[in-house]
């Protein structure tokens, strides 16, 4: 199994290019199933989850052509199957995003239930309830969702709580439904807005993406489109934290201030200097980092996907920070590993109390999920001595090779077996 070996204590400087957003790319690829015409996506991140989604599409019968610089063209003009099998879904839950498009275009889909994962139970009941309201017949059998519908019909779906994935799945399904669909209490993440833009370019009629209520007028067919994936605000946020703890001036090329307000506001409260530049954003380590409490929340709040990295920052700040995780029930898996590196963190239910600054020391640690891995990389950059992070495949699911990007900034990082 591959590991990352990081020798801490180096100051980082220079420029890093932020890749396309994983969580925008995955639904965008699923959306390509809504048409028989070609959907071309540019700026796809070079991460494992994107490769997995392309495999899901291929095994459904779509033709995938990989282009240069992370572009891919998908054409779903013939279907080999209507099934997203367990083997693929278990490695990537976002495979359930093919459910809405398959059902809307073909009237049937068979998708493995994803089951729980390291960060929480993560059921898909809200996806299924919404599709049922749109007329789908849904059965759960043998660990699979079997869904059928002659043609989905528009409906009003009021989500009882915010959900990014169900908002995206239903928005895609609604584009080909008969009549009008209203999604109330919809998720407002930039990735939802991006998906609506792509669907619009494919000929869908969608209003209100980015607000609590999205209205979709169903169409008989959608067409192809060519679209550029937005930059990854979580990758950018992760490098902002690197810049805050060990940076001598790092420029994040392509990072977009307008999609990262909650992250940047929080970092500025801590004392981190973040400034827009022509190419993106620039971050520098301040004289002193001051601990600040944090509560994760759906957009426009502080994203749960940055909570672990923020905790790495708080180990280096002066004072006590109370970090509340409100989205996923088990998203403190990084804490045990941070303790092994010398951090002072106490968990109390859904909150973690971090006392800093702590002198971190290199250790052998284990990555448990994507963002927990990023937290450990950040901690290792500031720790004394050598840290070896095992199970780095978690990191590769959602980050373009970090050893390459960090080395370009001057870090001592290598991938070992
Ligand atoms: N939930 C339900 N039932 C549902 C759907 C969600 O109870 O049917 C619950 C979840 O268990 C969770 C909360 O609602 O407690 C929010 O889940 P949401 O549906 O918003 O999450 P998701 O769509 O499964 C996406 C991202 C996650 C990110 C969350 C929250 C993708 C592919 N994944 O997941 O990204 O944490 O939104 O912003 O977009 C990551 O990139 O590391 C990652 C986990």
pLDDT digits (tens, 9 = 90+) for 321-368: 999 999 998 899 999 999 999 999 999 999 999 999 999 999 999 999
pLDDT score recorded for residue 52: 95
Q: Which of 24, 327, 334 to mutate to test the pocket of ligand 1 (most atoms within 8 A of CB)?
A: 327
**What is the number of the ligand 1 atom nearest to the C-alpha of 369?**
42
Distance 110 CA to ligand 1 centre (A): 21
pLDDT score recorded for residue 214: 99
State what percent of residues in the chain have pLDDT above 90. Answer: 96
Q: Which of 160, 163, 172 to mutate to test the pocket of ligand 1 (most atoms within 8 A of CB)?
A: 163
Phi/psi at 111 (nearest 5 deg)?
-130, 130
- What is the distance between the alpha carbons of residues 260 and 206, in angstroms, rounded to a whole number? 24
pLDDT digits (tens, 9 = 90+) for 389-408: 999 999 999 999 999 999 99
Q: What's the mean per-residue pLDDT of the chain?
A: 96
State what percent of residues in the chain have pLDDT above 70. Answer: 100
pLDDT for residue 117 is more than 90? no
Segment 189-207 shows an average pLDDT of 98
The residue to which tokens 């572009």 are assigned: 71
Tell me if 165 CB under 6 Å of ligand 1: yes
**What is the number of the ligand 1 atom nearest to the C-alpha of 398?**
41
Distance 8 CA to ligand 1 centre (A): 33
Distance 122 CA to ligand 1 centre (A): 7
pLDDT score recorded for residue 116: 72
pLDDT for residue 69 is more than 90? no
Within 10 angstroms of residue 229's Cβ, the number of other Cβ atoms is 25
Q: Assign 70 a pLDDT band (cuts: 50, 70, 90).
A: confident
- Identify whether 117 is a catalytic site residue: yes
Tell me if 301 CB under 6 Å of ligand 1: no
Of 64, 73, 117, 322, which is the active-site residue? 117
- What is the distance between the alpha carbons of residues 172 and 31, in angstroms, rounded to a whole number? 7
pLDDT digits (tens, 9 = 90+) for 256-295: 999 999 999 999 999 999 999 999 999 999 999 999 999 9
Nearest CA to ligand 1 atom 37: 164
pTM check: above 0.75:
yes
pLDDT for residue 115 is more than 80? no
Angle between helices 233-246 and 22-31 (to 10 degrees): 170
Tell me if 25 CB under 6 Å of ligand 1: no
Tell me if 304 CB under 6 Å of ligand 1: yes
- What is the distance between the alpha carbons of residues 163 and 83, in angstroms, rounded to a whole number? 23
């Amino acid at each position: 199994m591959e590991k990352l070996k990081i020798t801490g204590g180096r100051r980082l400087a220079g420029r890093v290019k932020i890749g396309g957003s994983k969580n925008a790319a995955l639904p965008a690829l699923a959306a390509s199933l809504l048409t028989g015409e070609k959907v071309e996506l540019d700026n796809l991140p070079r991460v494992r989850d994107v490769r997995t989604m392309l495999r899901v599409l291929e095994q459904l019968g779509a033709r995938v052509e990989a282009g240069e610089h992370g572009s891919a063209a998908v054409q779903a003009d013939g279907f080999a199957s209507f099934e997203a099998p367990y083997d693929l879904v278990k490695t990537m839950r976002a495979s359930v995003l093919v459910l809405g498009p398959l059902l809307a275009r073909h009237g049937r889909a068979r998708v493995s239930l994803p089951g729980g994962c390291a960060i929480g139970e993560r059921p898909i009941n809200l996806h299924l309830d919404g599709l049922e309201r749109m007329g789908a017949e849904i059965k759960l059998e043998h660990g699979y969702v079997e869904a059928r519908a002659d043609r989905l019909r528009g409906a009003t779906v009021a989500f009882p709580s915010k959900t990014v994935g169900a908002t995206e799945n239903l928005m895609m399904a609604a584009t080909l439904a008969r009549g009008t669909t209203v999604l109330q209490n919809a998720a407002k993440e930039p990735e939802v807005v991006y998906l609506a833009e792509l669907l619009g370019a494919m000929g869908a009629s969608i209003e209100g993406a980015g607000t609590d209520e999205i209205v979709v007028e169903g169409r008989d067919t959608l067409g192809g489109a060519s679209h550029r994936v937005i930059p990854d605000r979580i990758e950018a946020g992760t490098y902002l934290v690197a810049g805050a703890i060990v940076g001598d001036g790092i420029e994040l090329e392509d990072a977009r201030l307008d999609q990262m307000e909650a992250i940047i506001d929080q970092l500025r409260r801590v004392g981190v200097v973040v400034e827009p530049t022509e190419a993106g954003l620039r971050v520098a380590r301040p004289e002193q980092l001051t601990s600040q409490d944090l509560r994760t929340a759906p957009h426009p709040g502080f994203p749960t996907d940055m909570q672990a990295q923020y905790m790495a920052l708080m180990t280096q700040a002066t004072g006590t920070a109370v970090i509340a995780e409100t989205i996923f029930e088990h998203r403190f898996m990084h804490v045990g590993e941070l303790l092994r590196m010398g951090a002072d963190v106490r968990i109390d239910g859904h909150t973690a109390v971090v006392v800093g600054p702590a002198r971190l020391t290199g250790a052998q640690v284990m990555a448990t999920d994507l963002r927990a891995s990023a937290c450990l990389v950040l901690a290792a950059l500031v720790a004394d001595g050598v840290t070896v992070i095992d199970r780095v495949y978690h990191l590769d699911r959602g980050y373009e090779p970090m050893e390459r990007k960090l080395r370009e900034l001057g870090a001592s990082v290598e991938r070992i077996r």
